Amino acid sequence: MMRFDGYAVLLTGAGRGIGEATARRLAAEGARVLVTDLDGPRAESAAAGIREAGFRAEALACDVADRAAVEAAVAYAVERFGRLDVLVNNAFSCHPDPPLAEDLPDDEWARDLDITLTGALRCVRAAMPHLAAADGRGAIVNIGSVNGEQDFGNHAYSAAKAGLASLTRTLAGQCAARGVRVNLIAPGTVHTPNWSGREAALSKAASLYPLGRVGLPEDIAAAVAFLASQDASWVTGVTLPVDGGILIGNVALRGVLKRAWRGGEG
């Protein structure tokens, strides 16, 4: 299915993981994609892989904490593709929590919010005039997290993702009249390169998911493709969990209660 013939797409944080998988998916469906990442060589490697597969991709280093860099990335996409139809905000920062909340450093808190939340807003501000001129195809897909919906740790990252979900709703209300849809995907645990060396933890986490596994970047990419496409032309302002069912209940607690009712020790 070629849902994105003629589309131009800019993705942030797309050098690997969810961003790279999403760039590949949209390119495979006909889009011309600009892969941006803080790590320029990583962005180029991802774009080269897409081109080797026979699809169209460009690459550019972009720090979403730098307004000038964001504006340059949007300008580059429009220059190369002649238009911009879709923005995928995937860049994020996540520092591990200290044992005590009072020990959370100000700079780590500020960095996570600046990249994850304010960085997305910088991209929206730069891209919006072009998305509004995209003949009704303009769409923004923000990559949030189940951390923005429930407690899974990481104070700053979770606050930023919750803020991104709120920003998605307020932008959707404001941008609808301009023909631009704004939605958010809230992934659960996804096996990305960020988990390298911690596969044992992923295996344990999988048992807590109702669907019995952690996610793959391609699971999220498929959801992005839906929300960015005209298949979702009457969908805006939503948070779509793509989470293996983790938000529907507490699997570990359910197991304890089940064993208790069966006469076990729990």
Whose tokens are 């669907």? That residue is 211
Strand partners, 140: 87, 182
> Going by DSSP bridges, is the β-strand pair 32-37/86-89 parallel, antiparallel, or unpaired?
unpaired
Whether the pLDDT of residue 124 is over 60: the answer is: yes
Cα 179 to Cα 56, 139, 236: the distances in Å are: 26, 8, 11
Rounded to 10 deg, the angle between the 40-52 and 17-28 helix axes is: 30
Pair 36, 62: CB distance under 8 Å: yes
* 113: confidence class by pLDDT, cuts 50, 70, 90: very high
Q: Checking DSSP bridges between strand 139-143 and strand 86-89, what pairing results, if any? A: parallel
The pLDDT of residue 206: 92
Checking if the pLDDT of 261 tops 90, the result is no
136 contacts 122 by C-beta, under 8 angstroms: no
The residues carrying an active-site annotation are 157
pLDDT over 50 (residue 266) = no
- Whole-model pTM: value is 0.94
Going from the C-alpha of 211 to that of each of 172, 198, 206, 244, 259, the distances in angstroms are 31, 21, 8, 5, 20
The CA-based dihedral angle spanning residues 82, 85, 90, 91, taken in that order and rounded to the nearest 10 degrees? 40
Residues 171-213 pLDDT 10s:
999 999 999 999 999 999 999 998 888 898 899 999 999 999 9
Quick count: other Cβ atoms within 10 Å of Cβ 4? Answer: 24
For position 194, what pLDDT does the model report? 87
Cα–Cα distance for residue pair 72/109, rounded to 1 Å: 27
Note the pLDDT tens digit of each residue in 220-260: 999 999 999 999 999 999 999 999 999 997 767 677 767 76
What average pLDDT score do residues 55-64 get? 98
Position 191 scores a pLDDT of: 95
CATH topology for 8-198+214-248?
Answer: Rossmann fold (3.40.50)
State the average pLDDT for the chain.
95
Give start and end residues of each alpha helix (H) in 82-176. Answer: 106-113, 119-132, 155-175
